[in-house]
Amino acid sequence: MRDSSGNLAANVRRLREMRGHSQQRMAELSGIPRPTWASLESGSANPTLSVLSRASAALQVSIEELIGAPRTSARLLPASEIRIRKRGGGALRPLLPEAIPGLDISRMELSAGGQLKGVPHTPGTREYLTCESGRIDLIASGERWSLGPGDALVFRGDQRHTYVNTDARRPAVAITVVCFAPVGA
């Protein structure tokens, strides 16, 4: 088990590297001299509360996170903690449990014979639909496309659209990717 200075060194280095910054850049952002920043990362520092406060602000974490035991580089999210959105005859489960601005990737399951009405997004949004199992029809702008396992479709996400499972006996599964258009584009 590490002591607090060992924790501090490991956390400061990991957090800086995660942000893709050099020690010099972090020194500029925090107002801490670069040699002081280097000593934080080497474990040789005995920083004041002021230095810890500026380092934590520049890294956008609490002081407790700087001096606490290093966090693992992975995090398990049990299925029970992932919010599933249900509408009509379908369910959408996010594949990325942490939000990525401008992107939504979900696993869609349509009940046997079920359908899900898509919500029109901002103008310029693109959607990608890949059928994993079963048969799924996409209806948009008066047109209909039928997808089987492995088929993919790209379409404008800024229009009314509906996903339909054409099999009345089995559920259908697809992956949806929504690439939102930048606001004001």
Q: Is the pLDDT of residue 72 over 80?
A: no
Q: CB–CB of 111/163 below 8 Å? A: no
DSSP string for 74-96: -----GGGSPPEEETTEEEEESS
Distance separating alpha carbons of residues 88 and 111, to the nearest angstrom: 9
Look up residue 86 and give its two tokens: 């249900």
**Amino acid symbol at 51:** V
Q: CB–CB of 172/165 below 8 Å? A: yes
Q: CB–CB of 120/178 below 8 Å? A: no
Average pLDDT of the chain is 91
Q: Strands of the chain (E only): list them.
A: 85-87, 90-94, 103-110, 115-118, 126-133, 136-140, 143-147, 152-156, 161-165, 172-179
Look up residue 40 and give its two tokens: 């934080």
Q: CB–CB of 7/61 below 8 Å? A: no
Distance separating alpha carbons of residues 40 and 51, to the nearest angstrom: 10
pTM for this prediction: 0.61
Determine the pLDDT at residue 2: 58
pLDDT tens sequence across 3-60: 777 889 999 999 999 899 999 999 999 999 999 999 999 999 899 999 999 999 999 9
pLDDT tens sequence across 134-171: 999 999 989 999 999 999 999 999 999 999 999 999 99
What are the distances in angstroms from CA 60 to CA 46, 86, 98? 21, 35, 18
Domains and CATH numbers, the chain: 4-67 (1.10.260.40), 79-179 (2.60.120.10)
